[in-house]
Amino acid sequence: MNTSAVHPSAVRPSAVTVIGLGPMGRAMAGAYLDAGYRVTVWNRTARRADDLVARGAVLAATVEEALAANDVVVLSLTDYAAMYAILEPAASALEGRVLVNLSSDTPEKAREGAAWAAKHGARHLTGGVQTPPSGIGTTDFNTFYSGPRDLFEAYEGVLKVITGTDYRGEDPGLAALYYQLQMDLFWTTLTAWLHTLALADANGISASEIRPYAAETLGGMGQFLDFYTPRIEAGQHAGDVERISMAVASLDHVVETTRDSGVDPLLPAAVLETFRRAAAEGYEEDSLTRLFEVFGRGAAA
């Protein structure tokens, strides 16, 4: 189908193919079934389709059959390598397909994937889903999309069955980039929380006991973002509210408390080292926001 020749609102398919039935792909296929779509599925491990088939999905016998069944093919795979492993042997069946690739990977891999799809006559939308399976089928959360604008607009109604949408631009790498930016924050923040729990636990404090305090600290982060964002954009790193020398002393206390408790100090020690490096560069009197520049200069020699 030549989607660029079709008015966006005219493209309302009522059938999709979902390839990849991990927890996310299963939730997506389920959301399409709930929305009344005819759903064809394929997965390397076929038994993961059992519940969906019981609900009315069709399990394609081959990848070619799954691709032939529908114009819109949602990919929910571990990474882009999995996409090539599945689709490369069936590449002749890709002509005319719209690949909605909701597999996580790097921006560069997404760009290569879009070019690879185009080489085989398919069009590619990159997606970065920002919710676990529990949020699939609602518009409470958004998925980042990038790729051809006409393609996104033509199929937005189909995409909205999965989650809300947030179109970031034509560059196929953009959705992956926005997704990885969120993942950078997500993994480091949740890991910090788990370290805090281990430290609390080593001192006889349970996860439940620490929960309200952790929630208060994490919930208050928005205020820091509001306060520091304009200063960072203005290149203003004055230490009028806090200073890097204070952060070094404070982190030293965290690392020592961690060691005294018999807990692995690797995580806070890495943060301490980062601040020490900034101090060594002469930024002791500056705000912690100076790290934005220190990080941006790249890895230390």
**Among residues 3 and 126, whose Cβ is nearest to ligand NDP?**
126
Minimum CB separation of residue 178 from ligand NDP in Å reads: 13
> Binding of ligand NDP at residue 166 (CB under 6 A)?
no
Contact call for residues 54 and 74 (beta carbons, < 8 A): no
Q: Using the structure block, give the residue that is written with the tokens 């404090």.
A: 205
**Of 21 and 199, CB closest to ligand NDP:** 21
Q: Is 251 in the site for ligand NDP (CB under 6 A)?
A: no
Distances (CA, A) of 243 to 222, 235, 270, 285: 20, 16, 18, 5
Beta bridge partners of 144: 128, 166
Q: How many residues bind ligand NDP (CB under 6 A)?
A: 22
> Nearer Cβ to ligand NDP, position 22 or 157?
22
By CB under 6 A, tell whether 3 contacts ligand NDP. Answer: no
We find the least distance from the C-beta atom of residue 161 to ligand NDP, in angstroms, to be 16
Q: How far is the CB of 79 from ligand NDP (least distance, A)?
A: 6
DSSP code of residue 280: I
47 near ligand NDP, judged by CB under 6 A: no
Distance separating alpha carbons of residues 7 and 4, to the nearest angstrom = 8
Q: What is the rounded distance in angstroms from the CA atom of residue 3 to the CA atom of residue 111?
A: 20
Does residue 164 interact with ligand NDP by CB under 6 A? no
The torsion of the CA quartet 63, 69, 73, 76, rounded to 10 degrees, works out to -50
In the list 3, 20, 167, 289, the residue contacting ligand NDP (rule: CB under 6 A) is 20
For residue 218, give both structure tokens: 């994490």
Q: Is 43 in the site for ligand NDP (CB under 6 A)?
A: yes
CA dihedral (156, 159, 162, 168) positive or negative: negative
- In eight-state DSSP terms, residue 141 is S
- CB nearer ligand NDP, residue 102 or residue 154: 102
Among residues 25, 148, 265, 268, the one that binds ligand NDP under rule CB under 6 A: 25
Q: Is 103 in the site for ligand NDP (CB under 6 A)?
A: yes
Binding to ligand NDP (CB under 6 A) within 109-138 occurs at 129, 132-133
User: Of 24, 49, 117, 254, which lies in the binding site for ligand NDP, with binding defined by CB under 6 A?
Assistant: 24
Nearer to ligand NDP (CB atom), residue 31 or residue 102: 102
39 and 65 Cβ atoms separated by less than 8 Å:
no
Is residue 143 involved in binding ligand NDP (CB under 6 A)? no
Q: Is residue 169 within a helix (H) or strand (E), and if so which, with residue range?
A: strand 164-169
In the complex, minimum distance from the CB of residue 194 to ligand NDP, in angstroms, rounded to a whole number: 16
| Of the candidates 158, 71, 70, 81, the residue with the CA atom closest to the CA atom of residue 123 | 71
142 binds ligand NDP (CB under 6 A): no
Q: Is 77 in the site for ligand NDP (CB under 6 A)?
A: yes
- Interface with ligand NDP, residue 48, by CB under 6 A: yes
Least CB distance to ligand NDP at residue 102 (A): 6
DSSP 14-72: SEEEEE--SHHHHHHHHHHHHTT-EEEEE-SSGGGGHHHHHTT-EE-SSHHHHHHH-SE
Residues making contact with ligand NDP (CB under 6 A): 20-25, 43-45, 48, 76-78, 82, 85-86, 102-104, 129, 132-133
